Chain A
Amino acid sequence: MSVLETYRAPQSLDEAAGILREGNVTVLAGGTDVMPQSRIGKLKLQPVLMSLRRVPELRGICEEGGTVRLGALVTISELLESALVRERLNVLWQACDHFASDQIRNAATVGGNLCNASPAGDTLVPLLALDARAVLVSKPNGKLQERRVPLAEFFTGPGRTVRTGAELLAAAEVPLPPRESVGGFYKHGTRPGLDISAIAIAFVARREGKALRDVRVAFGAVAPTPIRAPRAEAALEGRAPDEPALEAAASAALGEIRPISDLRASDWYRRELVRNMLKRVIDHACRM
C-alpha cells in the first residue's frame, strides 16, 4: 500500500510546475482515473498528491488566431456545454456525448484523459483526428518552459506518453478546422452509456465540391495507442466518398490497425467493426 504524506493544492501554474520538479508527485485533476486505479493497485500513489483544481491557467476554452485552446482542467461537461466545441469541433463534441456518465463527465478532464493515455480514451481519438497538440509545461531552472507535441507523437503505449515526470500537461491546442469541414465519431460499446470502447473511429475532412480534402482518420482501441490511419486517409484524399472510395479506405485501415482480443471484443470482431463502421461514419458525416 502506498502512503500519502502531503497534499498540495498550488494556486498557479508556476507553483504547480515547481512542486512537480521536486519529484514524487501524483497529479490529481478530476480523479476519475487516479482514484480507481490507485484503489486496485494499478497506480502507486506517490508521497505527494498534488491537486490542480486551483490552478487558473489550466482552465477554460478559448480561441485565438485560429487555434482553440482547451485547458487541461476543462471537464467533459464543459466541452459539451461549449458552443465553440459543438459548432467547430463537433467530432470532439460527439465523443464527449458518449463519454461515461454525467457524474464522471462533471469531474473528468481533457488533461486527465490525455495523460491517462488509454488506447480507448474517448477524447483522444477525435483530438488526434483534429490534429491537436499537447502543451507541456515544466520549470527546469526556475523559469516556466513550454513545449508542444503533436498528439500523433504524444502517445507511446497503453498508459504511456512522452510527457516527463517534471512536465505538466497544460492544454490541448486544436487548429480550428474550416467551416466547411465535416466530421463523425463512432464508439462501439455494448450499451449506450457507461461503456469502454471496443473500437472508436473519428473522421474529419473538408468538402471541396464532392471531393474530400485534408482527410484525417483516427482509431481507438485497435492498437496499443490511439492511432491515425494515414493510408486510409490517403485512400480518401481528393475522392468523392462513394462506395469504391469507402471500400478502399476500409481495406487500407485494416492494414493499419493491430487489435487484440480482450473481454470487450475479439481481434476479429474489432476488424469487422472497423471495416463496417468506418464506411458508415464517413458516409453519415458526408450526408449531413
Chain B
Amino acid sequence: MSETLIGKRIPKLDAPDKASGKTRYIHDLEVPGALHAKILRSAQVHARIVSIDTSAAKALAGVHAVITAADVPWQRPIGVAKDHLPLKTDRVRSLRDEVAAVAADSEEIAETALRLIRVQYEPLPVVATPDQALAPGAPLIHPEPHGADSSPHLKSAGAPVAFAGKPDNIAMTFEYAQGDVAKGEAESDFVVEDVFKLHYVTHCCMGISGVIAEFDPNGNLLLYSNTQVPFLHKREFAELLGIDPARIRIIQPPIGGGFGSKLDIYPFEPIVIFLAKITRRPVKMVFTREEEFLASPTRQPVLLKLRSGCRKDGALTFRTVETVHDNGAYTSWGATTPFVMMQTISSLYRVPHCQYLTRAVYTNNPYAGSFRGYGNLQATFAVEAHMDKLAEAVGMDGLAFRLKNAQDPGEVTPQGMHFKSCGFKDCLATAAARSEFLRKQAENRARWKDPNPVKRGVGIASMLHVGGGAKIYPSDGCGTILKIDDFAHVTLMTGASEIGQGSETVLSQLVCEELGLPLSAVTVVNNDTDITPWDVGVHASRTTFIAGNSAIGAAKKAKAKILAAAAAKAGVPENELSLQSGYIVRSGKEKLFELGKFLRGLHFSDRAELVMTTFYYEPPSKHQDKGFKGDVSAAYAWATQVCEIEVDTQTGIVRLLKVTGAHDVGRVLNRLGIEGQIEGGIVMGQGYALTEDLMVEGGVVKNPNFRDYKLVTAPEIPEMDVSFIETLDGEGPQGAKGVGEAPAICIAAAVANAIYNATGTRITALPFTPENVYRALHGAAKAPAWSAAA
C-alpha cells in the first residue's frame, strides 16, 4: 500500500514563494503601457453634489482622463441591492463615496490631478446611527431619483434602488419563526433578556485592494482582480458594462487575504474599467492602506435584543430575537448576514420555539460586507451569553446545561438543517476536559472578593456553521478539469480560488491520494476564467468540501480510465489493479507498469488516448424556502472553545492567556494547514473581542491606520490547545468538512463569559478594550439599550 497523505503535515505549496518575498501580488504586476488611477472621494459625509469642475485636472500634463458620473451615463448599479452607482451622481452618502477618478501616467500625477478637481457640495443632515435613520422624518439616504441616466425606463417600477430610490431607510429585513414563542415563554421557569451591541471591525487584509483592467482592440475585457468570486463577478461586470459576459476574462494574481472582503465588487473596480475603456489603455489602481480602511467593507455592526427561556430541568424553551444592523450607505453582503445568524439562534442548541426579526438600516456610515463568520460571531456572542445566564439561573454548571441542549447526530432541526454528522457533544466534553473548565470556573468565582486586583476567568462557547457549502445560489457546485500528461504529471484545473486558505495544497493532496502520486506530481491552475471550470466562489467555508469532492471525482475518473487501459494491456481483471507510488500495481503489490511510461505508451499508441477528465460536483443540499427552512448545507461544522483570561480591574486590560478548542472538522486532511487556519481564526476572533475597533463617529472613520486600529500583535497571541474531533462525514471529501470560518466565531463569546467568571460583571457590548472593560467594571459604562425608534 502507498502511504496515505491524509492527515499528514504538508507545507502549503505557495509557502516558499510567500516566505521568500517572490509572490507577485497585484501591486507587483506591471502591464506595459498601463495608466495609474486614483479616485476622488467625498469631502462630506452626506451632501448634495452641486457641481464638479474637472477642467484644471484635465489640463494637467500626464493626465489621460478625468471622469465623473456625467462621463459614464451608461453605468449601472452594483451590490446586493443594486443601490450603488460606482460614480456618484447627485449626492454623496458617505465619506468613501467616489465622486471623480483620474487616469494618468503616474500615481503622483493622478494624485496631483485629484487636488485640482473642484467639487461644490450642499451639506445634508448626517444620519449617523440606525436610530437616527429610523426616527420619524429622518432624512432619506436613497430618495428617488438619483440616476445619472435620465431615460424614464430606468425609473419605472422594478428599477434598481439606485434609479428608483427607496421610500424608507430600511435596506433589508429578515423574518423567521418556528413553533410558538408565547407558548414557549409560558412553559419557561426562567426567562432572561439582554441587549447586545456589536461593533465595527474590518478585514485588514495584508494585501491591499487593487485591479488592472485592459480592453483588447476587439473590446474584450481582461481584468486582473483579487476577487474571491471570479465567475459570478464576470457576469456582474458584464451587466455593468452592457457587454456579453463571454467577452470578460478574469485572472487572479495571488491574493493577499480575503476573509470575505472580496465577495462583492466595489466601485473602484468598475471605475478602473471605465477609465480603461475611455483611455483605451490598461489602467491599474491599487489602494493606499488608508483607503483600504476607509473604502473596504466592514463587519456588520449589530444591536441585538435576545430573550430566552428554559425550564427548571435546563431544557431550552424559546428564543425571541430582534436586531438592527447598521447597513451603512449601500447594501453589500453584510445586510444578508442575518441569514447565517438565524441558524445559530435556531439550531446551535435545541430550541422548540423561535422568532427572529432583523432589519438592516441605511446610515451615512461605511457599509458592511461579508467577513469570515458572516454574522455568526454576533449571533454566537448573544446566544452563548444567555446559555451561561440560564445555566446559572437553573443552578446547573455551564457544561451540563449546554450538553443537555446540544444537538446530536441525526437531528433535523425545526429550521430544516439535517446534522448527518455531528460531533458537538464531543467538542464540548473535550474542550472542557482538556482545559479543566469546571474546576477553574469554580476557583475563579471563589476569588471575586479576593483583594488582588488582577482576576482570572474562564469562559466557554460553541458554534455551528455550514461545513458543506451553502446553497444560496441556484447551484453550489464546482468544476474540475484534470489532465495527466505523458510523464504522469497532473494538471488540476479547478474553479476554486486560492486566497491564502491553502486550497491548492489540500486539492493536490486529495488528487494525489486517488492517483497514488507524490504532491510534486501536481500543478494547480485556479486563477483564469478562460481556463478553469465554473465555481460559485470562495465563501461559506466551502472550498475544501465542494472543490475537494469535485477534484476527487475527476481523479477517480482518470484512475478508472488508466486502470481499464492497463487491464486490457496486461490481460488481467481491472478490479485487481490499483495506483500506488507512481506504479500500476496488481493485487496491491505486483508492479505491472511504471505510470509515466504507461501514459507515454497511451499517447504514442495507434489509438492514442490522452488522460483528461472533468467532473462537476453539486452537493446534495437544498435551497431554503421562503420561510428560511431547508437543509442549506451538505454538512455542518461544530466547535467549542474555552478561553482563559486575566483581567486587571485597575486598568481594564484583559489578557487572553489560553484557548482550548475542540473542532468537529469531519476529518483532518492537511494537519499543518488546518492548524494554521484554526490558529489564525482564533487570533482573528481575539482581535474582534479585545483589540480591533473601527471607530466611526458621525460617519467619519477616526482611526484609518494600524497605529490606532489595533490588530493583535505576536506577544498577545495566547497559548492554544486544539483538538480535532473526526466525525468522518459521509458526504465530505475523505470525510472532511469545511472549517475556514469556524475558529473565529466563538472567541468573543467565550471571552465575555470568562470576564463574567473573573469579575461577576457581564458585559454585553464589544469590544473589550481596556477603557470599555474598566468602565463596565466600575459602573461607568452605558449598557446597550433597545431604543424606541428601533
A interface residues, Cβ below 8 angstroms from B: 188, 190-196, 263-266, 268-269, 272-273, 276-277, 280
B569 at the interface (CB under 8 A from A): no
B459 at the interface (CB under 8 A from A): no
B651 at the interface (CB under 8 A from A): yes
Task: Find the A residue at minimum CB distance from B290.
Answer: A40
- Cβ–Cβ contact B713 & A191, under 8 A: yes
User: Which residue in B653, B703, B707, B778 is a CB contact (below 8 Å) of A272?
Assistant: B778
In the complex, what distance in Å separates the CA atom of A276 from the CA atom of B775? 14
Q: For B53, what are the chain A residues with a Cβ–Cβ distance below 8 Å? A: none
Q: For A264, what are the chain B residues with a Cβ–Cβ distance below 8 Å? A: 708
User: Which residue in A188, A192, A266, A268 is a CB contact (below 8 Å) of B716?
Assistant: A192
Q: For A188, what are the chain B residues with a Cβ–Cβ distance below 8 Å? A: 651, 770
Classify chain B: how many residues form its interface, as a range.
20 to 34
Q: For B780, what are the chain A residues with a Cβ–Cβ distance below 8 Å? A: 268
Q: For A190, what are the chain B residues with a Cβ–Cβ distance below 8 Å? A: 653, 691, 710, 769-770
Asked, given contacts A188-B651, A276-B650, whether A266 binds B771 with beta carbons under 8 Å apart, the answer is: yes
Given contacts A190-B653, A190-B769, A191-B712, 15 further A-B contacts (CB under 8 A): A188-B651, A190-B691, A190-B770, A191-B691, A191-B710, A191-B713, A191-B715, A195-B710, A263-B702, A268-B780, A272-B774, A272-B778, A276-B453, A276-B650, A276-B651
- The proximity string for B residues 706-731 relative to A, scoring 1 for CB distances below 8 Å and 0 otherwise, is 01101011011000000000000000
Asked, given contacts A191-B691, A192-B716, A273-B651, whether A263 binds B708 with beta carbons under 8 Å apart, the answer is: yes
- Cβ–Cβ contact A192 & B703, under 8 A: no
B81 at the interface (CB under 8 A from A): no
Q: For B702, what are the chain A residues with a Cβ–Cβ distance below 8 Å? A: 263
Please list 17 pairs of residues, one from A and one from B, whose beta carbons are closer than 8 Å in the complex, sorted by A's number.
A190-B653, A190-B769, A190-B770, A191-B691, A191-B712, A191-B715, A191-B716, A193-B713, A263-B695, A263-B708, A264-B708, A266-B771, A269-B774, A272-B774, A273-B651, A276-B650, A277-B650
Q: A3 to chain B: closest CB distance in Å? A: 13
Q: For B778, what are the chain A residues with a Cβ–Cβ distance below 8 Å? A: 272
Q: A99 to chain B: closest CB distance in Å? A: 14
In the complex, what distance in Å separates the CA atom of A192 from the CA atom of B714? 10
- The proximity string for B residues 665-704 relative to A, scoring 1 for CB distances below 8 Å and 0 otherwise, is 0000000000000000000000000010001000000110
- Cβ–Cβ contact A280 & B650, under 8 A: yes
Asked, given contacts A191-B691, A192-B713, A192-B715, whether A263 binds B774 with beta carbons under 8 Å apart, the answer is: no
Asked, given contacts A263-B695, A268-B780, whether A277 binds B651 with beta carbons under 8 Å apart, the answer is: yes
Task: Find the B residue at minimum CB distance from A36.
Answer: B707
In the complex, what distance in Å separates the CA atom of A196 from the CA atom of B770? 14
User: Which residue in B650, B653, B695, B771 is a CB contact (below 8 Å) of A265?
Assistant: B771
- The proximity string for B residues 759-790 relative to A, scoring 1 for CB distances below 8 Å and 0 otherwise, is 00000000001110011001010000000000
In the complex, what distance in Å separates the CA atom of A97 from the CA atom of B259? 34
Asked, given contacts A276-B651, A280-B650, whether A269 binds B713 with beta carbons under 8 Å apart, the answer is: no
Main SS of chain A's interface residues?
loop
B interface residues, Cβ below 8 angstroms from A: 453, 650-651, 653, 691, 695, 702-703, 707-708, 710, 712-713, 715-716, 769-771, 774-775, 778, 780
In the complex, what distance in Å separates the CA atom of A183 from the CA atom of B712? 30
Q: For B650, what are the chain A residues with a Cβ–Cβ distance below 8 Å? A: 276-277, 280
Q: B615 to chain A: closest CB distance in Å? A: 48
- Cβ–Cβ contact A269 & B775, under 8 A: yes
In the complex, what distance in Å separates the CA atom of A265 from the CA atom of B769? 10
Q: A246 to chain B: closest CB distance in Å? A: 13
In the complex, what distance in Å separates the CA atom of A265 from the CA atom of B653? 13
Of B651, B769, B774, B780, most A-chain CB atoms within 10 Å:
B651
Q: B258 to chain A: closest CB distance in Å? A: 25
Q: B595 to chain A: closest CB distance in Å? A: 51
Asked, given contacts A269-B771, A269-B774, whether A196 binds B707 with beta carbons under 8 Å apart, the answer is: yes
Task: Find the A residue at minimum CB distance from B652.
Answer: A269
Q: B459 to chain A: closest CB distance in Å? A: 20
The 10 closest A-B pairs by CB, nearest first: A276-B650, A269-B771, A192-B715, A263-B708, A190-B770, A191-B713, A263-B702, A263-B703, A265-B771, A190-B710
Q: A270 to chain B: closest CB distance in Å? A: 9
Q: B646 to chain A: closest CB distance in Å? A: 13
Q: B366 to chain A: closest CB distance in Å? A: 17
Q: B776 to chain A: closest CB distance in Å? A: 12
Task: Find the B residue at minimum CB distance from A195.
Answer: B710
Q: For A273, what are the chain B residues with a Cβ–Cβ distance below 8 Å? A: 651
Q: For B775, what are the chain A residues with a Cβ–Cβ distance below 8 Å? A: 269
Q: For A266, what are the chain B residues with a Cβ–Cβ distance below 8 Å? A: 771
Task: Find the A residue at minimum CB distance from B703.
Answer: A263
Q: B780 to chain A: closest CB distance in Å? A: 7
In the complex, what distance in Å separates the CA atom of A26 from the CA atom of B227? 44
Q: For B710, what are the chain A residues with a Cβ–Cβ distance below 8 Å? A: 190-191, 195
Q: For A277, what are the chain B residues with a Cβ–Cβ distance below 8 Å? A: 650-651
In the complex, what distance in Å separates the CA atom of A263 from the CA atom of B701? 11
Q: For B695, what are the chain A residues with a Cβ–Cβ distance below 8 Å? A: 263
Of B695, B702, B707, most A-chain CB atoms within 10 Å:
B707
Q: For B769, what are the chain A residues with a Cβ–Cβ distance below 8 Å? A: 190
Q: For B716, what are the chain A residues with a Cβ–Cβ distance below 8 Å? A: 191-192
Q: A241 to chain B: closest CB distance in Å? A: 17
Q: For B708, what are the chain A residues with a Cβ–Cβ distance below 8 Å? A: 263-264
In the complex, what distance in Å separates the CA atom of A266 from the CA atom of B708? 15
In the complex, what distance in Å separates the CA atom of A280 from the CA atom of B774? 16
Task: Find the B residue at minimum CB distance from A1.
Answer: B112
In the complex, what distance in Å separates the CA atom of A65 from the CA atom of B702? 50
Q: A42 to chain B: closest CB distance in Å? A: 13
Q: A129 to chain B: closest CB distance in Å? A: 21
In the complex, what distance in Å separates the CA atom of A230 from the CA atom of B651? 24
Q: B472 to chain A: closest CB distance in Å? A: 37
Q: For B713, what are the chain A residues with a Cβ–Cβ distance below 8 Å? A: 191-194
In the complex, what distance in Å separates the CA atom of A196 from the CA atom of B709? 12
Q: For B653, what are the chain A residues with a Cβ–Cβ distance below 8 Å? A: 190
Of B716, B770, B780, most A-chain CB atoms within 10 Å:
B770
User: Which residue in A193, A196, A265 is a CB contact (below 8 Å) of B715?
Assistant: A193
In the complex, what distance in Å separates the CA atom of A277 from the CA atom of B650? 8
In the complex, what distance in Å separates the CA atom of A193 from the CA atom of B706? 13
In the complex, what distance in Å separates the CA atom of A194 from the CA atom of B653? 16
In the complex, what distance in Å separates the CA atom of A159 from the CA atom of B21? 38
In the complex, what distance in Å separates the CA atom of A272 from the CA atom of B652? 11
In the complex, what distance in Å separates the CA atom of A221 from the CA atom of B710? 19
Task: Find the A residue at minimum CB distance from B770.
Answer: A190
In the complex, what distance in Å separates the CA atom of A264 from the CA atom of B707? 10
Q: For A195, what are the chain B residues with a Cβ–Cβ distance below 8 Å? A: 710
Q: A139 to chain B: closest CB distance in Å? A: 37
Q: For B771, what are the chain A residues with a Cβ–Cβ distance below 8 Å? A: 265-266, 269
Q: For A272, what are the chain B residues with a Cβ–Cβ distance below 8 Å? A: 774, 778
In the complex, what distance in Å separates the CA atom of A98 from the CA atom of B619? 53
Q: B645 to chain A: closest CB distance in Å? A: 15
Q: B438 to chain A: closest CB distance in Å? A: 31
In the complex, what distance in Å separates the CA atom of A273 from the CA atom of B652? 10
In the complex, what distance in Å separates the CA atom of A188 from the CA atom of B715? 16
Task: Find the A residue at minimum CB distance from B653.
Answer: A190
Q: A100 to chain B: closest CB distance in Å? A: 10
In the complex, what distance in Å separates the CA atom of A196 from the CA atom of B691? 14
Q: A269 to chain B: closest CB distance in Å? A: 5
In the complex, what distance in Å separates the CA atom of A199 from the CA atom of B715? 21
Q: For B703, what are the chain A residues with a Cβ–Cβ distance below 8 Å? A: 263
In the complex, what distance in Å separates the CA atom of A268 from the CA atom of B695? 19
Q: B700 to chain A: closest CB distance in Å? A: 12
Task: Find the A residue at minimum CB distance from B715.
Answer: A192
In the complex, what distance in Å separates the CA atom of A264 from the CA atom of B695? 11
In the complex, what distance in Å separates the CA atom of A195 from the CA atom of B770? 13
Q: B484 to chain A: closest CB distance in Å? A: 48
Q: For A193, what are the chain B residues with a Cβ–Cβ distance below 8 Å? A: 713, 715
Q: A60 to chain B: closest CB distance in Å? A: 31
Q: B764 to chain A: closest CB distance in Å? A: 20
Q: For B712, what are the chain A residues with a Cβ–Cβ distance below 8 Å? A: 191
Of A193, A268, A272, A277, most B-chain CB atoms within 10 Å:
A272
Q: A182 to chain B: closest CB distance in Å? A: 21
